[in-house]
Amino acid sequence: MATIRDVARLADVSVATVSNVLNSADRVSPELSARVRAAMEKLSYTPHAGARSLRKRSSGLIGLVVGDITNPFFSDLFEAVEDAAAACGYLVLLCNSNERSEREEAHLRMLRTQRIDGLILAPTGAVSMNRASLLAQLEVPVVLVDRAMEGLGYDAVVLDNRCAGFEATQHLIACGHRRIGLVNGPEVFRTAAERLAGYREALLAAGLSFDPALVRDAGFRKQPAEQAMAELMALAEPPSAVFATNNLMTIGVVKALADRGLSCPQDVSVIGIDDLPWADAVSPRLSAIAQPVRAMGEAALELLIRRLAGTLNGPGTTTVMAPRLVIRRSCGAPASGKPAHVD
């Protein structure tokens, strides 16, 4: 089926312009409106009639709060949510918490003043009473994405993070590695805690002991990951492979190796989470655990629309999506000796 983005591309206009035409906005010129409608007819595009009816009785605004807009995962998530929302006649207000709870709370207060119809939230850290109160004050449906929160009763769309951690670590073990470093985020994030759990389960399944010295918290950021990798390689027994639990930290890990004159995978194998376009364009091509980010964004928006339309009622549901292992060139057998020790 054609999407609103397909219509915008054919008509050579923005997605917002197509949305305005669908909702009979006066600010669209007759020429642009005719172009959009011609593109819709050519593509046999049919807008979501139920959502359009709902839209006319609302502000037409949906809030989206993400953790770090510099992270390609969240920018891809925004694109997916925006496309799906536009197809239903909604505009998206994007807010970036920068992984800081106080900034997230400020955004929630602001979104309340904008009278949004619903909210999609990738929460920072653990549940707090202040956040729970602010979400309740919005008095709109809320869908959590990427990170669930216990006890609040909201719908959530998440990756099977335990499985992701297990599969990444299991792949490194299958390559022959026994000392595997983990560059992770803070355990207050459920994603980090579950990826750590998967890492530990894979070690246990292979009869390998868990060594806390091989685990570093790099805050899901690139620069701290560089430092974390430097610390791992300075150990008396450095790892022969490293699992980085998001894309920014994978970049930091690879850079730290290059800065120390170490090769991947000849000296150290690397696998990360998030399979982004550049992963197949660098040398070596990076193995990764792929997240279905577009499907996650679309599923979150669909849940929100169903809550708004009243076709989904009752307790919150959790949609768990499967990760996918993508094997490329950054993982290989460990070197015959220990990786080079670099201070």
252: domain CATH number?
Answer: 3.40.50.2300
**Together in a domain, 37 and 92:** no
Regarding whether 121 and 196 lie in a shared domain, the answer is no
171 part of a folded domain: yes
Q: Work out the mean pLDDT of the chain and round it to a whole number.
A: 90
Is 131 in the same domain as 247?
A: no
Assigned domain for 334 exists: no
DSSP 21: H
Inside any domain, residue 128: yes
Query: pLDDT digits over 278-309, tens only?
Result: 787 788 999 999 999 999 999 999 999 999 98
Residue 299 and residue 153 share a domain: yes
- On whether both 246 and 136 belong to a single domain, the answer is no
Share above pLDDT 70 across residues of the chain, in percent, rounded to a whole number? 92
Query: What confidence score (pLDDT) does residue 178 get?
Result: 97
222 shares its domain with 258: yes
Does 85 lie in the same domain as 107? Answer: yes
- Whether residue 280 lies inside any domain: the answer is yes
Q: Residue 340: its pLDDT value, please? A: 38
Judgement on whether residues 155 and 301 belong to the same structural domain of the protein: yes
What residues have CB less than 8 Å from 199, skipping those under 6 apart?
165, 166, 168, 169, 180, 182, 243
Regarding predicted confidence, which is higher, 253 or 337? 253
* Contact residues for 63 (Cβ-Cβ < 8 A; gap 6+): 92, 93, 95, 107, 111, 114, 116, 118, 119, 120, 121
Backbone angles phi, psi at 145, to 5 degrees: -135, 140
Same domain, 225 and 259: yes
- Report yes or no on 303 lying in a domain: yes
- Please report how the helices 4-11 and 30-43 are oriented relative to each other, as an axis angle in degrees rounded to 10: 120
Closest by Cα among 276, 252, 277, 275 to 264:
252
The total number of structural domains in the chain stands at 3
Segment 140-189, tens digit of pLDDT: 999 999 998 888 889 999 999 999 999 999 999 999 999 999 999 999 89
Distance, CA of 145 to chain centre:
8
Are 218 and 150 part of one and the same domain?
no
In a domain, residue 335? The reply is: no
User: Is residue 337 a part of any domain in this protein?
Assistant: no
Of the candidates 138, 147, 140, 59, the one whose C-alpha atom is nearest the C-alpha of residue 101 is 147
Q: What percentage of residues in the chain have a pLDDT greater than 90?
A: 68
Domain that holds residue 316: 61-159+293-322
Same domain, 168 and 272: yes
pTM of this structure: 0.80
- Record the tokens describing residue 5, joined without a space: 């983005």
Whole-number pLDDT of residue 339: 41
Task: Tell whether the model's pLDDT for residue 48 goes beyond 70.
Answer: no
Residue 329 within any structural domain of the chain: no
| Residues 267, 223 within the same domain | yes
Cα 131 to Cα 141, 201, 314, distances in angstroms = 15, 32, 22
Residue 53 has pLDDT above 80, yes or no: no
49: which 2 tokens? 């009639």
